[in-house]
């Protein structure tokens, strides 16, 4: 069964600090992996996309890594801001773009 597991389930950090979110997946066949940010009451918005051959990709303060051998990905947020408070969902694409397997998300709260 295709599964995506994320940790931690929730995280509270102080503004300006860094954090790393983890994602482990057992999805086959693998097409790509995306990290989405979902603000409360809003739809998910894509932050990064990782294909099988990519190890690291950055998008501003967000850096995603992918280890296809161990089937693990991480999302590192640098110099966190209050606006980073949201749920971060790891999503693996398969099956021609139709099949998405979602993680349950990490709820991040950034405090002053």
Partner 1 sequence: DTGVSQDPRHKITKRGQNVTFRCDPISEHNRLYWYRQTLGQGPEFLTYFQNEAQLEKSRLLSDRFSAERPKGSFSTLEIQRTEQGDSAMYLCASGLAGVYEQYFGPGTRLTVT
Contact residues: partner 1, CB under 8 A? 4, 31-32, 34, 36, 41-46, 49, 89, 91, 93, 96-100, 102-105, 107
**Which of 91, 110 has the CB closer to partner 1?**
91
**Which of 80, 101 has the CB closer to partner 1?**
101
CA atoms in the 13 A half-sphere facing the CB of 86: 20
Rounded Cα distance between 108 and 6, Å, is 12
**Which of 3, 18 has the CB closer to partner 1?**
3
The angle formed by the CA atoms of residues 57, 60 and 65, to the nearest 5 degrees, is 25
Per DSSP bridges, beta strands 72-77 and 19-26 are antiparallel
Give the nearest distance from C-beta 79 to partner 1 in angstroms: 26
Give the nearest distance from C-beta 71 to partner 1 in angstroms: 17
């Amino acid at each position: 069964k295709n599964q995506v597991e994320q940790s931690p389930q929730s995280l509270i950090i102080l503004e300006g600090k860094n954090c790393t979110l983890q994602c482990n997946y057992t999805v086959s066949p693998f097409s790509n992996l995306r990290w989405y940010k979902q603000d409360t009451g809003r739809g998910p918005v894509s932050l990064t996309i990782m294909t099988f051959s990519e190890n690291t990709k950055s998008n501003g303060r967000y850096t995603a890594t992918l280890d296809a051998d161990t089937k693990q990905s991480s999302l590192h947020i640098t110099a966190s801001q209050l606006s980073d408070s949201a749920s971060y969902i790891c999503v693996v694409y398969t099956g021609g773009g139709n099949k998405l397997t979602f993680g349950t998300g990490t709820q991040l709260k950034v405090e002053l």
